[in-house]
Structure 1
Amino acid sequence: MTHTPVRRRSTRAPLKAVTATAVSLAVLAGGAYAAGLGPFDRRSDALDPAAAAQARAFLDDWSAGRYDSAAARTTHPARAQDVLRSFTSGLDIEKPRLTTGSVERADDGTVRVPYTAKMPVKGLGTWTYTSRVPLREANGAWKVDWALELVHPHLSDKAKFRLEREDTSPPEVADRNGKSLVGDEYPSLQPLLARMAGADGKPRGAIRLVDRVTGQTSGTEATFGMRPGKESGRATKTTLDAAWQAAADQALAAESGGRNASLVAVRIDNGEILALANSPTTGFNRAASGTYAPGSTWKIVTSSALLLKNAVTPDTVVDCPKYLTVGKEFHNVETSEFHGATFRKDFMESCNTAFISLRGKLGDTETGEVARTYFGVGQEWHVGIPSYDGSVPVPKDETEKAAAMIGQGRIQANPLIMASVTATAASGRFHQPTILPDAEDRTSTTALPQSVVAQLKTMMRDTVTEGTAHVLADLPGDIGAKTGTAEVSEDEPNNGWLVARRGNVAVACVVEQGVTGGGSAGPILHHLLSAVPEDPS
């Protein structure tokens, strides 16, 4: 980010622009310049060709680091050489790129050549500003009329510049209550701190205008790698909760068994992310950017679509056979079967064949429309860090439609999406997940009818007390959940999923090659919810 300072009013006579043609610096043999030679347009400086050539020669010598040659073209060579060298070297400017404009002449004969300076500050970025080179004619020759202001309009006998580089330690990031999130206690966050602080992982620094006597800062000329409007040294506040974040990292470390896994916890009432954790803690942020088939956790969305159009009720009998063939053979986990089961029982036991048998109740685009309209899946989210926001493609054929009913096929999600789906099912209202309080929200959704919400909550509670999420049954509170087992390929074990809601918090966890949700993700969420029995304020 650069800042072009406001020009100070000159006390000299008004200047007249001769032309508006911009030209670039050119180097001639031996460093000498002549009007009309090289790439310069002879007409652009027709009134003062020698003055224009001298200004360009001065700027080119400066940009090339020939400070003695540049200084020799001025009215005060010794002073000029010292200032040019200290300004360029002291601010770690690698090689100035100086582009001249057209000559300006005042009524009193004074000549100036405006220029644009692009100053690449080593390792930080480019500082851009504009200034003018004044020239004076004496004894038939033009000289640069030396003044500090020609180097930069704010450089003076009273003010100079100072380059400040921030150290390479992680940017300061705090949780919702102001507690620092920098440290070993929150290993999953350390790769994300720069992103959350708005620095994009780049070095940070600034060029300050300071008083030559007191050293006090009077202004900032340029900032690099810092979030616009954010002052250096101030912590970036997030929506995270330190207790939940620490517990999430500890749960993955203790229960993931060395497998790739991730989890997310969000507030149900507003979508704020309370914890986001990955195992391993370095590298790819699979919790928010991963692309997984959500498996049977997606049955929350499928059930919503069916309930919305009154295609079923929880008490509708939907048989659950071991196998069902729709282009290919589908089966239940461990080939379980429940003859005469109700839809509630099918949900509790995560019966694939029962859900697939209901595919004719929904149009090809209906599940995707429900996912987008009510759950915000597939809309553009602005979380505050990079995220993948889900995809629910229209099925290409009946086999793919059957797979989509159970969260397979080409449906893709991640723990952030499924935590949000769980939160929406619990409250009826989608809230875009955010990790920064000021994150933009461009989503547009419709609230689920409360009758649908009530049915989903009951079925998710029954899944804990009597169904596949029984791993959470011993925990206090009104916990509802849904397990998921997602096929990856014929050669790899299934991914295990579990989503749950308790109080004002919704959580989601995936374990790669975890085989079953209850067996792999279950212990992780049990550990997490045991460690943080209270909802965050």
Structure 2
Amino acid sequence: MRLHVRRVLAAAVTMTVAGMTLTGCFEEPSAHEAVRDFLVGWQSGDYALAASRTDGDPTAVARALEDARVHLDAASFRFKIKSLTENGGESTADFAAEVDLGENNSLWEYTSKLPLHLVDGVWKVRWSPSVIHPQLHEGQRFAVEAKPEPRRSVLDRTGEPLQKDATLYVAGVTPVTLGDNAEKAVEQLAALTGFAQDRLLSRVRSAPPSTFVPLVTFGRLKFGQLESKLKAIPGVTIQEQKQPVAPAAPEQIVGTVSALTAETEQELGGPQRAGDSVGLTGLQKAYQDNLTGSTQTSVVTLDLKTGEQVAELKKWPGRPNAPVETTIDSTIQEAAEAALAGTRSATMVAVKASTGEVLAVSASHNLNEEKDALAGKYPAGTAFSIVAAEALLKKGVKPSQRLSCPAERSVGGARFEQVGLSATATQSFQSSFAKSCVTALASLARRVTGDELTGAAADFGLGKPWKLPLKSFSGKIAKLDSDADKARAIAGQNVEVSPLAMALVAGAVAKGTWRPPLLVVKPATPDPTAEVLPAKPPAPVTLDAKTLPVLQAMMRAGVTSGTAAAAATGGEQVSGITAPVTGKSKKQAWFVGWQGDVAVAVFAEDADPASYAGRFFSALRNPA
């Protein structure tokens, strides 16, 4: 995480005149020593030293220099003498100033002059407020105006927000109404919230007196707990703000937002200020800086009597913020939510087959859309037979080839058990594929090499180095050094995949080209501090043109004559297979298939995933 930056600089003043650093002693009387002592005292906070080198009232000068630091909320000052000229009893020093305003703002740099004259044989700075800055005059003070941009939204593919407005409660003060109670009010607020008292107080003191200064933001629950105590603090007022922070589906992909707390401020650092919102999970966290931008900051001078602005001395526009544009289709997302409503231990990912764009992500209430649907590491089961079938078809295995489907079979010492089919059944390769007969499919391990299976897996993107801006898993296949290893791979027992990875497999079969996933269209990359930084996506892979139509027909048979018939209730021309996970104590199964340009993968426990796919496709045809 980026650390909170307040650049505390060294106390030594750089005094360069005509290329020479003045650190030695000079014959008196000399203006150099007066300039050096004044600027060293100002820079180091020894205001008494600085004041002693002026012709002004020492107490008033020291207070003016300290007020400049307070009213700028400055972390440090640094000075460099550019030139020094003497003319009899008068002298002028030209100097450059660098003021660190903290809050990750740029340094405020300006040039000014120190007029000096001899007073009883001693050089003194001729005091006036313009010594601090050429545009600061009597009866004026500095102030820092901060104008934060409201948080932007995460959007679906049509530009509609994927979150709703929620009410946040902003506790702040108007400095002019506090009078002498500013320190007491801030002390009570700091004790109640945990924010650093000095930081809150410096923000109050540096702000224009008649401007509302937001200090701490609360969500509804926290505000409800503290409301009476907050309202009891003299001078603290509460403003309600609407911000797009309540996530819509897919909620865990969009992510949650919280008001900045003392703890998260220390953890995040960066441009956040007490009172800001911060993304805690999902895209809200990954794109925090993009969504919030940075605060516009101005240094101004104010009239002490009226509080009105006299001049703007410097302005930093801040980094602009922008919405995050995703590929999520809200209509398809609603269908996915409806399909899994009331289910346990099921996840679903839908992608656009022709592009790899993620259209919808859904998960049962006990699972997580990011950790389980995008990044879950599940056994592939006979869903991997889609990949294996492509390799076997290339090797000349015909869909019509007859295979036996016994209750048990051993291949190279690896044992497989088939549940639900007659031990004497003999059927075609296509039928075995459509009905996910693991003992029949495993028997084909000797017809293909390990490298050919591994190469087919790579063609379908499994194990390739693609990443989303959220946690995701592209799959993993074990080394295939024996017939037993290959048979286990065909049965998906030594292959791990995610629902996202299998949805992309379905999309590849549907359209003939595997494409890497895409979730966020803009910005191109998340924040540099995000947990996951996507690498350059791998190139699309076009599947074999001869085997593709055969593989598509086999997938279609999974619905028309196989165990995925429940998916057909969602409409015509659904293609896909139901693929059980064997060799596990839990009853787990996949549906992998597509309808039109929507490819989907469903993983479920103790349920028929094809029925969830049927609900999904039905909801697409008949939206609420």
The interval holding the TM-score normalised by the smaller chain is 0.7 to 0.9
Match of 2:519 among 435, 446, 455: 435
| Partner Cα distance (1:55, 1:504) in 2 | 71
The answer on 1:455 being equivalent to 2:550 is: yes
State the Cα distance separating 1:427 from its structure 2 match: 0.8
Name the SS for the 1:140 alignment partner.
strand
State the Cα distance separating 1:396 from its structure 2 match: 5.4
Partners of 1:73 and 1:144 within 8 A in 2: no
The answer on 1:247 being equivalent to 2:335 is: yes
TM normalised by structure 2 equals: 0.63
Partners of 2:350 and 2:358 within 8 A in 1: yes
Match of 2:587 among 472, 491, 494: 494
The residue aligned with 2:603 is 510
Match for 1:420: what amino acid?
Answer: L
The answer on 1:298 being equivalent to 2:394 is: no
State the Cα distance separating 1:332 from its structure 2 match: 1.9
What RMSD in Å do the two structures reach over aligned CA positions? 4.3
Instruction: Go from structure 1 to structure 2 and tell me whether the alpha carbon gap of 1:111 and 1:405 turns closer, same or farther (over 3 Å shift).
Output: same
Partners of 1:34 and 1:50 within 8 A in 2: no
Correspondence list, 1:111-510, <5 A: 111-112=94-95, 115=98, 117=100, 119=102, 121=103, 126-129=104-107, 131=109, 136=114, 137=116, 139-140=122-123, 161-165=144-148, 171-183=152-164, 186-190=248-252, 192-193=254-255, 194=279, 195-196=282-283, 200-201=287-288, 204=292, 206-209=294-297, 220-223=316-319, 230-231=321-322, 235-254=323-342, 256-257=343-344, 259=345, 261-280=346-365, 285-307=371-393, 309-325=394-410, 326-334=412-420, 336-337=422-423, 339-372=425-458, 374-395=459-480, 397-409=482-494, 411-438=495-522, 439=524, 442-487=537-582, 489=584, 492-510=585-603
Name the SS for the 1:408 alignment partner.
coil
The answer on 1:59 being equivalent to 2:146 is: no
Instruction: Go from structure 1 to structure 2 and tell me whether the alpha carbon gap of 1:429 and 1:487 turns closer, same or farther (over 3 Å shift).
Output: same
State the Cα distance separating 1:161 from its structure 2 match: 4.2
State the Cα distance separating 1:431 from its structure 2 match: 2.0
| Partner Cα distance (1:179, 1:285) in 2 | 25
The answer on 1:531 being equivalent to 2:619 is: yes
**Deviations for 1:183-222, whole angstroms, at most 9, x for unmatched residues?**
4894432553454357545793633145875999996443
Partners of 1:135 and 1:144 within 8 A in 2: no
Instruction: Go from structure 1 to structure 2 and tell me whether the alpha carbon gap of 1:107 and 1:319 turns closer, same or farther (over 3 Å shift).
Output: farther
Q: Which has the higher strand share?
A: 2
Name the SS for the 1:110 alignment partner.
strand
| Partner Cα distance (1:319, 1:498) in 2 | 24
**Deviations for 1:85-113, whole angstroms, at most 9, x for unmatched residues?**
2321xxxx8xx266x58654466762536
Count of paired positions: 463
| Partner Cα distance (2:48, 2:392) in 1 | 81
The answer on 1:46 being equivalent to 2:16 is: no
Partners of 2:13 and 2:79 within 8 A in 1: no
**Deviations for 1:465-505, whole angstroms, at most 9, x for unmatched residues?**
1111011233322110122222575xx41322111200110
| Partner Cα distance (1:500, 1:363) in 2 | 26
Instruction: Go from structure 1 to structure 2 and tell me whether the alpha carbon gap of 1:494 and 1:84 turns closer, same or farther (over 3 Å shift).
Output: same
Instruction: Go from structure 1 to structure 2 and tell me whether the alpha carbon gap of 1:531 and 1:273 turns closer, same or farther (over 3 Å shift).
Output: same
Match for 1:447: what amino acid?
Answer: T
Range with bigger deviation, 344-353 or 138-147? 138-147
Correspondence list, 1:64-79, <5 A: 79=64
Match for 1:86: what amino acid?
Answer: H
**Deviations for 1:427-484, whole angstroms, at most 9, x for unmatched residues?**
1112222122245753124311232221111111111011110112333221101222
State the Cα distance separating 1:182 from its structure 2 match: 1.1
Range with bigger deviation, 298-307 or 128-137? 128-137
- Unaligned regions of 5+ residues in structure 1, if any? 5-21, 27-32, 37-42, 224-228
| Partner Cα distance (2:311, 2:124) in 1 | 40
| Partner Cα distance (2:50, 2:364) in 1 | 58
Name the SS for the 1:497 alignment partner.
strand
Partners of 1:189 and 1:277 within 8 A in 2: no
Name the SS for the 1:442 alignment partner.
coil
Match for 1:437: what amino acid?
Answer: V
The residue aligned with 1:84 is 69
Partners of 2:569 and 2:615 within 8 A in 1: no
Partners of 2:570 and 2:621 within 8 A in 1: no
Name the SS for the 1:350 alignment partner.
coil
State the Cα distance separating 1:507 from its structure 2 match: 0.7
Match for 1:402: what amino acid?
Answer: A
The answer on 1:110 being equivalent to 2:93 is: yes
The residue aligned with 2:225 is none
Q: What is the aligned-residue identity percentage?
A: 23
Partners of 1:332 and 1:352 within 8 A in 2: yes
